[in-house]
Amino acid sequence: MIEVNEKIAIEHGLKKDEYKKICDLLKRTPNITELGVFSAMWNEHCSYKSSRRHLKKLHTKGKQVIQGPGENAGVVDIDDNDAIVFKIESHNHPSFIEPYQGAATGVGGIMRDVFTMGARPIANLNSIHFGSPDHEKTRNLLRGVVKGIGGYGNCIGVPTIAGQTCFDESYNGNILVNAMTLGLVNKNKIFYSKAAGVNKPVIYVGSKTGRDGIHGASMASAIFDDKIEEKKPTVQVGDPFTEKLLLEACLELMAGKSIISIQDMGAAGLTSSSIEMASKGDLGIEIDLTKVPCREENMTPYEIMLSESQERMLIVLEEGKEKEAKKIFDKWNLDFAVIGKTTDSKNIELFFKNEKVAEIPIDFLAENAPMYDRKWIKSELPKENSFSKDQFKSLKLGECLNKILQDPNISDKEWIWSQYDHTVMGDTIQRPGGDAGVVRVHGTNKAVAAAVDSSATYCNAHPLTGGKQVVCESWRNMISVGAKPIAITNCLNFGNPEKEKNMGEFVECVEGISEASKYLNYPVVSGNVSFYNETKDKGIKPTPSIGGIGLLANYKKMITMELKNNGNYLFVIGKTEGHLDQSVFARNILSKFEGPPPEVNLFNEKQNGLIILKLINNNLIETCHDVSLGGILTALSKMSIKGNKGINIFPINGLVNKFQYFFGEDQGRYIIEIKPENLENVEKILKNDSIHFDKLGLIEGNEINYGNDLKISIDDIKQGYKKWLSEYMVN
């Protein structure tokens, strides 16, 4: 037996004062199993000890919200007794250490969060961030992560309908892999993790427990160094075929009335699942670890409690339902074991070979877990750059456009999403590559839109503005496909919170997210915080990922971004001021990396979005695409490429510098396509609602033309846009 002391506690990721607090709470020195339990529950990943007080600021209420933060996933009402269960979560550190298994188990974990609430998964999404393309590890990390996402999602038979891929040198030492899942459930048949009742049987189901993933949760709250390779044993190993069996078995059991509560064994495994269930129910729990199905010999209580072996669930059943439940799991060839019971002791009590090996009050692990009010620094809004006419003199629109379309963060990502099955289940009606993925609610006319967005560049320049912007980008992506935005989930990826600058970035991003979501009535219903994303004291840019969902009452009204018909008109909705600071143009063309992000006007965002929905619902527009990275000309080019149609751009009245107009990244804008016969009606509606718009151009030919300043064929821009990633990955 290992003798516990301060040194051992520190090796478990605990601080000196935290170890002292544990000893004071217990009024004794913990044994090694108890220390392991404390280290798992008190780490950042499980306790949210640096973020909890700030997450309370998030806007989480709404008419359609059934379940907000605090459960395995959020739940929203989509009418007709249907509800969507959804969440996004990080698997950053495991994916950097072992990209295939890290990404694969990230997908598996988030799907379990969804189906543990009684929902059948209907769609997966992802947000993945890698270092500079020139970095020696980037190509292999990208290849491994994409294979892991596809390998797990494709095997379990859930479509991957949308995603986001970004490159930046700040991720050289710490990539981000955020996975999101949507599930469909009858709103009257939702299952929760709160245990209830005394002497209720506690059931272990799924795969056997092994030694993989031990200290996975603690590793997720650690900073990397040169010994990163030594952490590979902390990465979980996934089995999508077993997860499919577990999914079907759980849903079959849920069809009856035997489950009191159910919880995925995710981060910290049996430790977190048992303690969270007991804590929420204000109960105790007793577990006989000898009865836990193990696939390796001589596993210790410490190893059993901290293992993060995948495809496992913990269930509290009604008494007398054990045989009935076992039949189901036997049918699906899964382990089923009664390993304990609920108690009124309000303690977790662990037994092994008829000996009590741990006893800890539940409150010590949950309510009394540390919560820090960390110091943080407020960010100043950077000074605007002044752009002189000389900086634009030698520039040509076509050359600038081609360079921007080949930027790693703009270029086509088909090489990635073509490896994912996005049509399995037969309900995907918009595949990856658009503003949002869309899946039909099977057997109905309803459809759900979903997208994931992040904006590390804007957040790094000014976290408060960046936080607002990324929510608005998600809002616009829902609007652009004709969906009414409903709610969001967030994955907040940041560096070391013990550094005042990093903590300040987190606090202000959260404030920005909250402000925008409240104003837009776009509440946060679930999420995840991932701190300590850094290697050798170099952290990532602040990267909040926002997963948004929206509802189409009639999927036939869905809008896509490709240009439709020659002779139709194009409008820009929203005012263009020509903001170049922090834009792709400023970085790629002018080599300017300073300055503020574009201003976010929430009033305009809301009004412009609502008017687009009005036009869509009245069948007045054919195409819609929001204007984001790269500005108007980049958005137009993508629409042209997808539709294989040219554009004749009109002279713009009151044109600011043409480069500012075409490449500025002002927020709250959309490009829409209008039939000639609807032109008058659309203009009237826009003017009546005081919506700013520009008549942008006419769809015709096979080129993008702007007077004497631009003449470029669709084939030419398509070649540049399509080639970067595919060429990069074959080198």
Residues taking part in catalysis: 45, 91
| Strand 447-454 versus strand 543-552 pairing type | antiparallel
Strand partners, 95: none
Q: How many CB atoms lie within 10 A of CB 331?
A: 12
Would you give the DSSP letter of residue 620?
-
Cβ contact 181:159 at 8 Å = no
- Read off φ and ψ for residue 348, nearest 5 degrees: -95, 125
Cβ contact 294:208 at 8 Å = yes
Q: What angle do CA 183, 189, 191 make, to 5 degrees?
A: 75
Cβ contact 435:561 at 8 Å = yes
- Look up residue 354 and give its two tokens: 């008829």
- Read off φ and ψ for residue 688, nearest 5 degrees: -65, -30
| Strand 703-706 versus strand 647-649 pairing type | parallel
639: which residues sit within 8 A by CB, 6+ positions away? 561, 562, 563, 623, 625, 671
The alpha carbon of 477 is separated from its chain's Cα centroid by a whole number of angstroms, namely: 15
Short-list 349, 355, 351, 312, CA closest to 334: 312
Residues recorded for the chain: 731
**Helix, strand or coil, per DSSP, at residue 468:** helix
Helices assigned H by DSSP within 116-170: 138-156
Strand partners, 697: 570, 649
420: which residues sit within 8 A by CB, 6+ positions away? 124, 149, 150, 153, 154, 159, 160, 432
Cβ contact 639:623 at 8 Å = yes
- Read off φ and ψ for residue 679, nearest 5 degrees: -60, -50
* Largest interatomic CA distance in the chain: 87
Burial class (CB in 10 A: 0-12, 13-18, 19+), 566: exposed
Task: Give Cα separations from 708 to 302, 397, 718, 726 (angstroms).
Answer: 73, 10, 21, 33
Cβ contact 480:557 at 8 Å = no
Q: What angle do CA 315, 321, 322 make, to 5 degrees?
A: 65
**Helix, strand or coil, per DSSP, at residue 546:** strand
Task: Give Cα separations from 236 to 91, 149, 310, 390, 422 (angstroms).
Answer: 11, 14, 7, 56, 25
Please state, in angstroms and rounded to a whole number, the distance separating the CA atoms of residues 496 and 493: 10
